Amino acid sequence: SDIPAIDPGEKTFQRAHELLAMGHIPEAREKLTTIVNIYPSSSSAPLARRIVGEINLDEVFSPLHMEGKSLHVVKPGDSFFGIAAKYDTTLGCMMKLNSMMTLKSLHPGDELLVMPLNFRLLLEPKRQALSVWNGGRFIREYLVEQMGEGIPTTAKATTITSKFAEYQGNNVPTTSANYRAADKIILIKNPPLQIRAITDDGEPLPGCILLQPYDMEEISLLTRVGNTIEIR
């Protein structure tokens, strides 16, 4: 009874910290992912989720990491919208992967890095957390800053039905020069919910899930219409 309790997640985290300090990123990520999956109640789990999420997201958007990505060679008649539809991705994601501030003219022979957006979202109202998964693999977690009334408390599966952006009260398309500065909004059906950035306007509206603005930008880049959202 006098022996102090040992947190196996904390021991694993200390080893992951050592590996990070030595530059062994894949090994460190494996340790951190173990904490996320095996020791979710560990005191180190929140920090482990944040660090492994940052590592994963760097990899997702890195042009040097080709897993899950393709190189599309532009052919006559190709358009950005057509390419995005072909690969189940979005213009915003294509612009991010190809370091494009605005859409440029396409010419046959041009090469574009594309990535299908087949991630799923997991919303956990009790933990006030929204996470991104690739199948059964954890990618990134975001803290929900505020949650309006009407969020289901029982397990439910739904989908993203629409995505749009607002700038100074007006909807703007991805091709607009104001798109990058616009507020991104994701609509969910059955039940009708919204994921959007938190503002200083007070209490969230019913059915609103509010994130930090920079987290909302990332979520918008990682999702498309049709993505599955699991609530539990």
**Taking residues 172-197, what's their average pLDDT?**
91
Q: What is the pLDDT of residues 1-15, one digit of tens each?
A: 555 556 788 889 999
| Cβ-contact 177, 152 below 8 angstroms | no
Report residue 19's pLDDT band, with 50, 70 and 90 as the boundaries.
very high
- CA dist 133 and 144 (Å) reads 17
Q: Phi, psi (5° rounding) for residue 33?
A: -65, -35
pTM as predicted: 0.87
Check residue 86 and give its pLDDT. Answer: 96
Half-sphere exposure of 75 (CA within 13 A, CB side): 4
The amino acid at 46: P
| Cβ-contact 120, 133 below 8 angstroms | yes
Check residue 4 and give its pLDDT. Answer: 53
Check residue 218 and give its pLDDT. Answer: 95
Q: What is the pLDDT of residues 116-158, one digit of tens each?
A: 999 999 999 998 999 999 988 899 999 999 998 888 888 899 9
Q: Closest Cα partner for 227 from 195, 203, 204?
A: 195
Check residue 60 and give its pLDDT. Answer: 94
Q: What is the pLDDT of residues 38-97, one digit of tens each?
A: 888 888 998 999 999 999 999 999 988 999 999 999 999 999 999 999 999 999 999 999
Show contacts of 169-178: CB within 8 Å, 24+ apart: 174/90, 174/91, 174/92, 174/95, 174/103, 175/91, 175/102, 175/103, 177/102
Check residue 6 and give its pLDDT. Answer: 65
For 9, 144, 232, the CA distances from 43, given in Å and listed in that order, are: 7, 19, 22
